[in-house]
Amino acid sequence: MNPTIGVLALQGDVREHLAALGSLGATPISVRRPAELAACDGLVIPGGESTTMVKLARIFDLLEPLREAVRGGLPAFGTCAGMIMLADGIEDGAAGQETIGGLHITVRRNAFGRQVDSFEEDLHLDGLADPVRAVFIRAPWVESVEADVEVLARVEDGPAAGRIVAVRQGPLMATSFHPEVGSDDRVHGMFVDLVRSARAPH
């Protein structure tokens, strides 16, 4: 079964996400319109600038359809700014900043600091045997989670050690880092598995 997985194509590493999904046997499509969203079994929301992405989603008449799709159980995977887009709450957000919501977490925007504070680290992710090389670029972190959210990874070294950077809640997944950077597609693989299990008859 090859699920159709969309990548929200408003900003960010759209091509890289499409390539990773395609290499895992999914049918990847770019999503800029409600009709394209409606064709998806799952959706990746890439990095970028979260306030700009919300504005663009409004311009493309996608914000409400995105909210309805996530509320309706569409599996979604947010990376970096995509994590902010899925979060129910934001610390240090722009005034009146909106999100798609659905993920019962509060995130802190630009938590690690500005562009100069971008960094890489090997992370142990629940569900994967070997560490993932995680690339953080002006990344958020998860400030708090509700009881139904599973923490998949935390920063392991340095001043931010212990901060939550990967979570899952039912069909929703989010990482502070960019799994599309580099050739390791195992994090995307976790999401493809999530989409497949959501589609399987129960």
β-pair type (87-91, 103-108): parallel
Lookup: tokens for 123: 């992370």
Partner residues linked to 108 by β-bridges: 91, 141
Residue 118 pLDDT class (50, 70, 90 cuts): confident
Burial 4-32 (b: 16+ CB within 10 A, else e): bbbbbbbbbbbebbbbbbeebebebbebb
Under the banding of pLDDT at 50, 70 and 90, the label for residue 111 is confident
pLDDT tens-digit readout, 7-60: 999 999 999 999 999 999 999 999 999 999 999 999 999 999 999 999 999 999
**Which tops the pLDDT comparison, 199 or 61?**
61
pLDDT band at 114 (very low <50, low <70, confident <90, very high): low
**pLDDT, position 66:** 98
Which uninterrupted H or E stretch holds 70? helix 63-71
pLDDT tens figures, 66-85 = 999 999 999 999 999 999 99
* β-strands 42-45, 4-8 pairing: parallel
Percent of the chain with pLDDT over 90: 84
Q: Please check the confidence at residue 178 and state whether its pLDDT lies above 60.
A: yes
Q: Which of 162, 168, 166 is nearest to 140 (CA)?
A: 166
Q: Please give the Cα distance from 37 to 83 (Å, whole number).
A: 18
Alpha carbon 44 to chain centroid, angstroms = 6
How high is the pLDDT of residue 95?
80
Cα separation of 76 and 38, whole Å? 13
CA-CA distance, 176 to 199, in Å (whole number)? 26
- Using CA atoms, how far apart are residues 198 and 17, in angstroms rounded to an integer? 20
Q: Which residues are catalytic?
A: 80, 178, 180
- The whole-number pLDDT of residue 202 equals 54
pLDDT at 156: 92
Strands (E), 46-188: 76-79, 87-91, 103-108, 119-123, 132-136, 141-145, 150-154, 164-169, 172-175
More confident residue, 36 or 112: 36
pLDDT of residue 184: 95
Q: pLDDT (tens digit, 9 = 90+) per residue, 119-172?
A: 899 999 999 999 999 999 889 999 999 999 999 999 998 888 999 999 999 999
